[in-house]
Amino acid sequence: MSSTPFSGVIAAIATPVAEDGGPDIDRCLRLARHLLEHGCNGLNVLGTTGEATSFSREERMAIMTAYKQSGLPMQRLMVGTGAAAIADAIALTRHAAELGFAGALLLPPFYYKGVPDEGLVAYVAAIVKATETRPIPLYLYHFPAMSGLAWHVGLIRRLLDMFPSRIAGLKDSSGDMSFARAAAAISRNFAVFPSTEAALLEARRGDFAGCISATANCNADLCARAWENGDGAALEAAVAIRKLFDGKPLVSGVKALLAHIHGDPALARVKPPLAPLPAADRAAVVAGHDAIRARRVA
């Protein structure tokens, strides 16, 4: 297994939204506790599934503070701190470090496209320098379909050479498993997490550190059986639940299924520009989930 503080099943936890559009802190914390108690080794707070870029810097910091004040195990939490503005990324990463988060997940600055590697190196260097008194481990967030920018293998090598004690790993949401394997091969001390639970048996063999998955919000118990016991049937069921979202909006889909699983319609709320899952899609996802669960013998 990986030597990173993070390994195994990590849910990219959804952020419940209150009626006024702000974060629903009480529901955030209840969901976090539920996931940690039902199969998750860790949580990725305020990632894409957590709608991080739809919340203001102040809202993101308030969510982070609430996690700390609630007594949740900070050693099991990483948090997204990347931002388009370097000052925002620095402020968020400093806050994460001060609160004791075990890692900061860095989305690249995502507005300008086609920027040279030097620009991305300067972005990371500024964050490293600004947090050197509290050197929180940094995880690169590779999601070029959303950010338009890639932490490609050559750039990762360069950053590891420059900041070997700070660059801890990468979340790969590209869906390109050949890239994930190439990134994982860079160094035994560089922890790579594909964004799909389908990679868990490979991870269990030591190819990856685990997974950071949006759908682990809904199938963490099944993922845990695969990670801990090599349970192929459990993994097949977990992946089948993930496939229910194919062709559908993932974030609103996950939230709709969470609302069904927990019997709490408020969990389905999303922030604009996202919209609630259409009723027909919701019905299909719920029916598919319940059928998979009914077939799965505990």
* Catalytic residue list: 141, 171
β-partners of residue 142 are 172
Q: Which residue has the tokens 């701190």?
A: 81
57 with 88: CB under 8 angstroms?
yes
Where do the H-state alpha helices sit in the chain? 25-37, 57-69, 86-99, 117-130, 144-147, 153-162, 177-184, 200-204, 216-229, 232-243, 250-262, 279-295
Q: How far apart are CA 126 and CA 39, in angstroms?
A: 36
Let me know: does 116 contact 152? Beta carbons within 8 Å.
no
Please tell me whether the peptide bond between 265 and the residue prior to it is cis, using omega within 30 degrees of 0.
no
- Return the SS3 of 207: coil
